[in-house]
Structure 1
Amino acid sequence: MYFNFDSTYLSLPEKFYERIHFQGVSKPEWVVKNEELRKSLNIDGDFDETLLQILSGNQWNSTPFSQAYAGHQFGHFTMLGDGRATILGEHLDAQGNRWDIQLKGSGPTPYSRRGDGRATLRSMLKEYLFSEVLHDLGIPSSRSLAVVKTGEKVYREEIHEGAILTRVMKSHIRIGTFEYARYFGTQDDVETLLNYSVNRLYPELKNSTNLALAFLEKVMKVQIDLIVNWMRVGFIHGVMNTDNISISGETFDFGPCAFMGVYDPSTVYSSIDQNARYSFENQPKILKWNLARLAETLLSLIHPEEKVAIELAIQIINEFDSLYMESWYKMMFSKLGITEEKEGDSHLVDEFLEYLYQFKLDYTNSFAKLTYPEVFDEKENDFPKEMNSWLGKWKIRIENELNSNEIMRRNNPIMILRNQSLEEILKNAEEGNFSKFHNLLNQLESKKRISSIDNSFLRANPEFDSQYKTFCGT
């Protein structure tokens, strides 16, 4: 049986999805298998031949479907949809939690337009790594159950091996799904989608006086929590279009993403982000912009009079800045070992970040040096002498904090996915050598044992990063 499917999304009007009949692939082969995730989801059996056929789209006992949605891509609205992804079904685990099981790269759908619906091995391995690294860092994210080679070639700028990723999420409903309902459906469609989304993800809201307004506020808060977590570890998503923003507050669609090395708020790696719309520092601003687009889709449900609806929605959106800054400073205090804010703490944070920027210091390692001094040698542990005054103030500030080191260890990663290491891992994997790929995954398991960490995952290469460009891989 493998999966315990109960696909409630199919209860929505048919305009929200298309049922899919897979073309299948010629020669499926396991590449990566996530045994820990399989067990936690209570998926029966092992990664055997039957499961291989299911996760390659060669056989299934469910009603696969692809979702319709729209979105603002780099600020411009367009009709979209799952062009290379199909949901096998919604799997219920032993605790009754519902999970979308999606095959990404499984072939064309009615939303593919001129695309082939396939994916390259490289892009699927990249998504696998990023989703698992973010999960390990305590950040809500899609998960990766497996990567399967298809035995077929995929044509992009070059010829690549084809692959399918099995992606797991609480839900693939996006802000763009609501935009689709508003622009291509009716008010009833928007209301049906709202009620479905609340029942599925936020049932505690069902008795709200104004359901649409309560939903908007809830999505804003879970997305603020998510973006603050990205800022905590220096993660740059790279393509925060409204179709890539989940209402469940999960990170997903790892295309041109990367982790920032040297601290520079204006950092952009994405080759397609010519105007730095989705730079590191712009992520909260863009989130607010995206939430305003969600608010627009809900206006008719917030209040029958548009003027009143707009005023009520604006009141919610106007809370964003203060909520975000409060959450961001609380996170930054935790990175410095501060549990209860006192006067001057925000200045301590601002001053530290200004030093990182001024001296072009590594974002992750600068906090790690404060948290795990045993990892770095004496020379590496040194901060510029100009920071001695700040270090003295910081040490005095936390000397009476009982759990400062514990809270710092929870919030400051000892390792992230370094850009140069990532490229080496993916290049080797494309050539059939997965030793570095599995080494990274093993490091995630062993990083609690500080002495066993591979130094290549701790050291940045600023020269490499300064020229580094990421691509969507579609």
Structure 2
Amino acid sequence: MSLVEAREPFALDVLDTGLPEAAYERVAPTPVQAPELLRLNRPLAAELGLDAGALASPAGVEVLAGSRVPEGVSPLAMAYAGHQFGNWVPSLGDGRAVLLGEVVDRAGVRRDLQLKGAGRTPFSRMGDGRAALGPVLREYVVSEGMAGLGIPTTRALAMVTTGERVFRQRAEPGAVLTRVSASHVRVGTFEYFARRGDRETVRALADYVIQRHYPHLAEAGAPYQALFEAIAERTGELIAQWMLVGFIHGVMNTDNIAISGETIDYGPCAFMDGYHPDTVYSSIDLGGRYAYNQQPPIGQWNLARLAECLLPLFSEDEEQAMDIAYAGLDAYARRFDEVYQQGLIAKIGLSERREGDVDLASDLLGCMAEQRADFTLTFRRLADVAGGHAEADEPVRALFGDATAFDGWVARWRERLAAETRDDGARRAAMRAVNPAYIPRNHRVQQVIDAAEAGDMAPLDELLTVVARPYDDHEALADYARPPAPDEVVRQTFCGT
């Protein structure tokens, strides 16, 4: 695997990263017919130390499309396995993605650059290795929306159309996404080797992850135990952050869980409109395994699969190794509860946590679930409700078909606010800082896809503007905060493969 140190996009220094060779296959991306730059994320390019002008040039677009490989770079596809909807699949891997290499960004952090939709690899099986424009647009918008929300995520550097068609349910325009990640090592990467009994590669992979993501653990007395607990805590924090903004990943297979603690693989994902804990959007999640309220226990289930891989590294004593694994799973649960509960009470404007505050916030969620009140706007509009003026409640009440339960809740909430020391203005500002006005709503993403396929990029630019700064007011684009009308509701999202 190569590390590319970027000064300009085509003359790159190559360094050795130490990723075990068994974890990848060398493969070049497949050239496309007529690459055309759809969008370049110039702020991200600057953050990475890349020359945006050169990337947007014809030669740069060829690189972003996979039609040209920078000198000295040796691309690869990573191997991994995974549990998909609870079922073991022994061989998966990057079937339509090619990792060009890594850049050291301006903060000194190493990050992968990967082309998604770059053609067949040794892991493609029966797939064509390509991506359709719709899923590429979805990942670009939603991943940048997650970044705007401040949630760890892969990023989108560029979208390039290929001039070719791909065939899914229908013929669709082809596209390539340039994805940026802290790394692409997954729980499924460890499973790939552990299930083959390859302990040495599991150990080498763990050492690589420590060196890359958790270097402070290198000198720990029990580094592999410390590694598992650190991964568990990061994962718990990440999933709590998803829950606090109403995000549903949609396909939390172990091959879609990054060891770095980033959100990765935006397939049939969605942000909730009307709140209900059992909400599912993914067209392939027929049993609701990855429903909104199932994400916390599934996160722990996935970590248990990682623990199984690491047991021989924890201890030669089987009982002691199991105790270490359970301790790491407990660390996940504690961190999830800590972040989620603190975030939940912050969403209702409480700064001085007291007994009963989490129950108060949970009771609001119960009212919202009964009436399918809009998740995002309920909390955002609650920020504007004055502590002692019931007439200001109307914008929130309007989100409930029957506001009786909400009226009872808001009276209890005002009683609790009276015990806060900060004033109403400070509370309002704090609530607006944690409750976004804008999310990449499903119907808006679909409108972007439909418009882009017709050659109209204005909806994409407008949506990216608001989700990049979701906590701000955008008066000219205020309609993007609106929930979907009944005829705009998107009830299912789809995997792009």
TM-score tier by shorter-chain length is over 0.9
1-structure distance, mates of 2:347, 2:443: 25
1:388 paired with 2:388, answer: no
Deviations 1:126-153 (A, max 9, x none): 1100000010011111100000011111
1-structure distance, mates of 2:245, 2:129: 32
Q: Which residue of 1 aligns with 2:26?
A: 19
Quick check: 397-406 or 120-129, which moved more? Answer: 397-406
SS at match of 2:172: strand
1-structure distance, mates of 2:362, 2:469: 33
1-structure distance, mates of 2:415, 2:244: 23
Q: Which residue of 1 aligns with 2:58?
A: 49
Q: What are the residue-to-residue correspondences of 1:84-233 with 2, within 5 Å?
A: 84-184=96-196, 186-233=198-245
When residues 373 and 427 of structure 1 are mapped into structure 2, their CA distance, relative to the original with a 3 A threshold, is farther
When residues 391 and 17 of structure 1 are mapped into structure 2, their CA distance, relative to the original with a 3 A threshold, is same
Q: Which segments of 5 or more consecutive residues in structure 1 lack a partner in the other structure?
A: none
1:417 paired with 2:432, answer: no
Q: What are the residue-to-residue correspondences of 1:237-386 with 2, within 5 Å?
A: 237-372=249-384, 379-382=394-397, 384-386=403-405
Deviations 1:408-446 (A, max 9, x none): 122111111122222111111111111111111122356
| Contact 2:148–2:470 (Cα < 8 Å) also in 1 | no
Cα deviation, residue 187, structure 1: 1.0
When residues 132 and 377 of structure 1 are mapped into structure 2, their CA distance, relative to the original with a 3 A threshold, is farther
The one-letter amino acid paired with 2:41 is N
When residues 377 and 441 of structure 1 are mapped into structure 2, their CA distance, relative to the original with a 3 A threshold, is farther
When residues 401 and 273 of structure 1 are mapped into structure 2, their CA distance, relative to the original with a 3 A threshold, is farther
When residues 48 and 26 of structure 1 are mapped into structure 2, their CA distance, relative to the original with a 3 A threshold, is same
The one-letter amino acid paired with 1:433 is D
SS at match of 1:58: coil
SS at match of 1:450: coil
| Contact 2:20–2:205 (Cα < 8 Å) also in 1 | no
1:74 paired with 2:85, answer: yes
1:440 paired with 2:463, answer: yes
| Contact 2:283–2:493 (Cα < 8 Å) also in 1 | yes
In the alignment, which of 21, 29, 33 is matched to residue 36 of structure 2?
29
1-structure distance, mates of 2:468, 2:195: 46
When residues 467 and 128 of structure 1 are mapped into structure 2, their CA distance, relative to the original with a 3 A threshold, is closer
The one-letter amino acid paired with 1:348 is L
SS at match of 1:27: coil
Deviations 1:163-184 (A, max 9, x none): 1000000111000111112123
SS at match of 2:195: helix
| Contact 1:447–1:453 (Cα < 8 Å) also in 2 | no
| Contact 1:174–1:243 (Cα < 8 Å) also in 2 | yes
| TM-score normalised by structure 1 residue count | 0.95
When residues 8 and 332 of structure 1 are mapped into structure 2, their CA distance, relative to the original with a 3 A threshold, is farther
1-structure distance, mates of 2:455, 2:348: 42
2-structure distance, mates of 1:102, 1:73: 23
Superposition RMSD in Å: 2.1
| Contact 2:233–2:331 (Cα < 8 Å) also in 1 | no
2-structure distance, mates of 1:6, 1:197: 20
Cα deviation, residue 234, structure 1: 0.3
1-structure distance, mates of 2:473, 2:454: 31
1-structure distance, mates of 2:415, 2:483: 30
Cα deviation, residue 42, structure 1: 0.9
Q: Which residue of 1 aligns with 2:417?
A: 398
| Contact 2:64–2:115 (Cα < 8 Å) also in 1 | yes
2-structure distance, mates of 1:378, 1:139: 30
Q: Which segments of 5 or more consecutive residues in structure 2 lack a partner in the other structure?
A: 1-7
2-structure distance, mates of 1:168, 1:393: 45
2-structure distance, mates of 1:365, 1:12: 45
Cα deviation, residue 448, structure 1: 5.4
2-structure distance, mates of 1:12, 1:360: 47
1-structure distance, mates of 2:392, 2:411: 20
| Contact 2:144–2:468 (Cα < 8 Å) also in 1 | no
1-structure distance, mates of 2:142, 2:436: 14
In the alignment, which of 74, 80, 85 is matched to residue 63 of structure 1?
74
SS at match of 2:123: coil
SS at match of 1:281: helix
When residues 118 and 344 of structure 1 are mapped into structure 2, their CA distance, relative to the original with a 3 A threshold, is same
2-structure distance, mates of 1:285, 1:430: 38
SS at match of 1:230: helix
Cα deviation, residue 467, structure 1: 6.2
Quick check: 117-126 or 325-334, which moved more? Answer: 325-334
1-structure distance, mates of 2:260, 2:109: 13
| Contact 2:436–2:470 (Cα < 8 Å) also in 1 | no
| Contact 1:154–1:161 (Cα < 8 Å) also in 2 | yes
2-structure distance, mates of 1:106, 1:428: 24
Quick check: 45-54 or 258-267, which moved more? Answer: 45-54
Quick check: 313-322 or 222-231, which moved more? Answer: 313-322
Cα deviation, residue 210, structure 1: 1.2
The one-letter amino acid paired with 1:48 is S
| TM-score normalised by structure 2 residue count | 0.90
Cα deviation, residue 244, structure 1: 0.3
Cα deviation, residue 332, structure 1: 0.1
